[in-house]
């Protein structure tokens, strides 16, 4: 899971072995394009250098958290924090949002 994002460094704690590592959210390698075939943007995928466990972040959640109910109790606090980071990440790497930075 993502534990922090700073200066385009995405800090991840491996869900499998708890190893802490960083992924650089930089162009061109990490730019996520729209896939006509699926009608979605590509996922952001990170891989633990120790155990090879992959984590996938969906770049297709609503960009504004006002677009979905918050504090409804439907999702955990941990999940809310993850979604906050994922939105931040979307603004760093999604091709349609990059220019807005
Ligand atoms: Zn790991």
Cβ count near 71 (within 10 Å): 8
Tell me the whole-structure pTM to 2 decimals: 0.86
Above 80 in pLDDT, residue 100? no
- Which range marks the domain in which residue 54 is found? 2-100
Place of tokens 């941990």: 78
Rounded distance from Cα 18 to ligand 1 centre (Å): 6
Rounded distance from Cα 52 to ligand 1 centre (Å): 6
Rounded distance from Cα 54 to ligand 1 centre (Å): 8
Question: In this predicted model, what pLDDT tens digit does every residue of 72-91 receive, in sequence order?
Answer: 667 788 888 999 999 999 99
Place of tokens 């994002």: 5
Question: In this predicted model, what pLDDT tens digit does every residue of 11-26 receive, in sequence order?
Answer: 999 999 999 999 999 9
Average pLDDT, integer, range 36-61:
97
Rounded distance from Cα 12 to ligand 1 centre (Å): 10
How many domains is the chain built from?
Answer: 1
């Amino acid at each position: 899971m993502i534990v922090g994002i700073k200066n385009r460094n995405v800090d991840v704690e491996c869900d499998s072995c708890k190893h802490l590592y960083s992924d650089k959210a930089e162009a061109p390698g990490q730019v996520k394009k729209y896939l006509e075939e699926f009608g979605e943007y590509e996922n952001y995928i990170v891989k633990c250098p120790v155990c090879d466990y992959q984590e996938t972040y969906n770049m297709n959640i609503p960009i504004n958290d006002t677009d979905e109910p918050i504090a409804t109790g439907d999702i955990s606090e941990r999940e809310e924090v993850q979604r906050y980071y994922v939105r931040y990440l979307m603004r760093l790497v999604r091709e349609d949002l990059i220019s807005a930075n």
